[in-house]
Chain A
Amino acid sequence: MIFSLIFWLVAIYIAMRGFSQRHRQMHRWLQRELPLWEEKNIINIEQGNTLLGLYKLKRLEPARKMDMAKALTLVGAIFVGLGVIFFVASNWQKIPAHLRAFMLLPITLFTLYAGYFFSYEKQGFSQLGRSLLLLASLFWGGAIALIGQIYNIPVSENWYIMLLWAFPIVPIAVFFKNDYVHILASFLFVIWNFLYTVNNNIANYYYPIIIFTLILPTAKNLIISRRINIIGLVGASLYCCFYKYEWLSLFISAGLLAHYLTQREERVYLYSACLSFIFWAITFFTIHQQQPNIYFLLPIGFILYLTYRDDLKENLVICLVGLMAWLNLTLASLSQIWGYAFDPLSFITFQSSLGIIIYNAGIISKKKGYLFFEVYKALGYLVTFTCTYLLSFRLVLETDTGKTNPAYLYASFFVTVIIILLIIDKARSGYFKNKDTRLELAALLATLIGNSIMLTNPQAVSVNTVVANAMLVIFALTNIFLGVEIKRPFVFTLGIVIFALFIITRYIDLGWKLKEKSLFFIVGGLIILSLGTILEKQRRKIIEKMNTQ
């Protein structure tokens, strides 16, 4: 683990060195706007070039448009290529297998040369040439599969066929700048990695090395290919959790982060690095179940720093979810050490408390004028609401009743104390003077009190069911009143949706036990339809009123 710390410290050092390029977003905006200003004759091309030169920027290449003829040659190439692969798969016996192989190989080579010829030797047929190069790459896959079929190479070694297909077509993608072949190769590498891991039961380090050193650097202007490879890498990290490959997910995460730090145009690198890092934390827990993971905090802190520095709203959500996952994994480790069993009630109420604290972070951020206050509020709300909704089911409250997990229980109370202190602080600063903030306070207190009642009295399932449902109704009502108060139709509609969800869920909950389910659905459907019509009418009236005001 000490290596992991050293590694992250090195990564942080590298990042610090690159901090001079702080205005990346502004640069991107300028690159996008410039052609528009030139088109509208606000500035001329020379002035545009001067502006770009000032910031040492290059002109963005115009997006390539695909006409019908180009699309047809591409689709044609894909169809023919797939046809050949299906022909190989059919194992047609009328032509001997060896003869089929000796026919396919020259055809593949001929197509390869034709692709080159139309791309570079013959004027005006470059699209045909590109499609033929793709076709040659597909034929090559067919040829390899055919050889594998002739010699009965087992299906468990399909990874080997995928690799022999993918690698030799990379030079076409790179040297001939063929986007289609690049996408095909990226896709094949993803399949190769999956098959390799499944069939060999070992971590495939070759995959991220190939992608980081060969495929991603050559996919700079090719967004589809980049995304395929990023999805492949995140997928590889994800199944590290199941196969317990601790270092591989960490390696992938670090590689993605390094790519983000060197080419910050692609935000997805940071998102996927963060996701891979969370998968590493999960993998760490599956391997060292009784060892709380303290190594998580420093890197996630650094990722959070990058998130704020580069204004990446989406990544904040990933980081917060990661931190929640880490807290839960830590509590799960402590539960293992102390021998506490899992209990749904204390687990869900803990998540709910975390949701409230995230929501509070949003309130504080808004007050102090920090970035992303709405992200905190939205995520906090979503987490708390989801937990309350889950707790409103009697089945959840009944499961393992009375087996309260002390680790989660004390953690919930600890978080509750922090929330109360925050609320007192805000009350003293006069935050709750307005009607809208008082409504916020009502919802917060209702959730806190409800959670505390349920946690202190887990045996009383009936009482707790009523409490959780009351909390859900309070959620709906505060949203409706808050929506009217702050004149935000979205908040108001959300309240209506929660209310409708509450009615439908409870109806299904109660009616499901009835023997006559057809009648239950017909009557229920009619009631919901009528209720929906009335609610929708009222909702529209109020929203119209809000808009006119």
Chain B
Amino acid sequence: MNKKIIVVIIGFLWVAISAGMIISKQHTLRTGKTVVLETVPVDPRDFLRGDYVVLRYKLSSLDLNQIESDKPYYRPGENIYVKLKPKGKYWEAADISGKKEAVADGTFLKGKVRDYDLKTRKLEAAYGIESYFVPEGEGKVIVKNMRGNKSSVSVEVLVDSSGSALIKKVYIEM
């Protein structure tokens, strides 16, 4: 094949991939419903993307003894759909299901099972909103301030109709 054609195809491929990533995230930003989640941060650094704050939510650890589930157990790596309901200032998990249709009548988050304990029926999940990137050097300062002042941290998240979520804002109340 002509090398010139190949280089053009690679260029288009790169543009398509980056555009695909941007468009899917922009879709969530444009159409998503805002929910506020309570969180606790910690502060590592990523080689590629710099300082970030790890956000751990109440939703990250779900007790199936307290939340309704249509499945007896879940496997690591399995997709889950967590129906959310507002409770006071924050949104919390109401139901959990392995099928999207079961929770589609309300606002729900799509996540992935990281771990499930058969004995305690506790489930660890990730929703793709566990990292918040900040300018270099600011991660440690933010976390130090938050810990020192025992301030509460919440995250404003946009959730679209497929359950995909995107962080909009992080609120630190001193």
Contacts and interface: CB of A to CB of B under 8 A. Distances in A.
B133 interface: yes
Chain B: interface size category: 35 or more
A175 B13 CA distance: 15
Interface string A81-124: 00001001111110000000100010011001101100110000
Given A116-B3, A154-B126, A171-B10, A91 B135 contact: yes
A90 B135 contact: yes
B14 A91 contact: no
Interface in B109-148: 112, 114-115, 126, 128-136
Contact of B136 (A89, A119, A140, A141): A89
B49 A112 contact: no
Interface in A133-166: 140-141, 143-158, 161, 164
A342 to B, nearest CB: 27
Contacts of B22: 101, 147, 151
Contact of A88 (B44, B48, B129): B48
B86 interface: no
A155 B137 CA distance: 18
A200 to B, nearest CB: 5
A109 B50 CA distance: 24
Contacts of B7: 112-113, 115-116
B70 interface: no
Chain A CB within 10 A, most for which of B51, B114, B115, B133: B133
A120 B17 CA distance: 26
Nearest to A143: B18
A144 B15 CA distance: 11
B4 A155 contact: no
A91 B115 CA distance: 32
B130 A89 contact: no
A201 B135 contact: no
Contact of B1 (A112, A120, A168, A175): A175
Nearest to A175: B6
Interface in B74-90: 76-77
Given A154-B130, A201-B76, A89 B50 contact: yes
Contacts of A88: 48-50
A176 B6 contact: yes
A202 interface: yes
B72 interface: no
A177 to B, nearest CB: 10
Interface in A418-460: none
Contacts of A149: 49-50, 133
B4 A116 contact: yes
Given A151-B166, A161-B48, A171 B13 contact: yes
B128 A157 contact: yes
Contacts of A151: 21-22, 25, 166
Contacts of A115: 7
A296 B174 CA distance: 62
Nearest to A108: B14
Given A175-B6, A200-B77, A201-B76, A112 B11 contact: yes
A135 to B, nearest CB: 14
Contact of A200 (B4, B52, B76, B133): B76
Interface residues of A, number: 45
Given A89-B136, A116-B4, A143-B18, A148 B76 contact: no
Contacts of A120: 3-4
A172 interface: yes
A209 to B, nearest CB: 18
B20 to A, nearest CB: 10
Nearest to A112: B11
B166 A152 contact: yes
A169 to B, nearest CB: 8
A113 B11 contact: yes
Contacts of A200: 76-77, 112
Contacts of B136: 89-92
Contacts of A176: 3, 6
A140 B50 CA distance: 17
Nearest to B12: A109
B134 A91 contact: yes
Given A91-B134, A164-B17, A85 B11 contact: no
Interface string B134-174: 11100000000000000000000000000000110000000
Contact of B14 (A109, A148, A202): A109
B35 interface: no
B134 A168 contact: no
A116 B54 CA distance: 41
Contacts of A93: 135
A109 to B, nearest CB: 5
Given A91-B50, A200-B77, A201-B114, A152 B6 contact: no
Interface of A: 85, 88-93, 101, 105, 108-109, 112-113, 115-116, 119-120, 140-141, 143-158, 161, 164, 168, 171-172, 175-176, 200-202
Given A90-B136, A101-B22, 13 more contacts: A90-B135, A101-B18, A113-B7, A119-B3, A146-B49, A148-B49, A152-B129, A155-B44, A155-B49, A155-B54, A175-B6, A201-B114, A202-B77
10 contacts: A89-B48, A105-B15, A112-B14, A116-B4, A141-B48, A149-B49, A149-B133, A154-B131, A158-B46, A164-B17
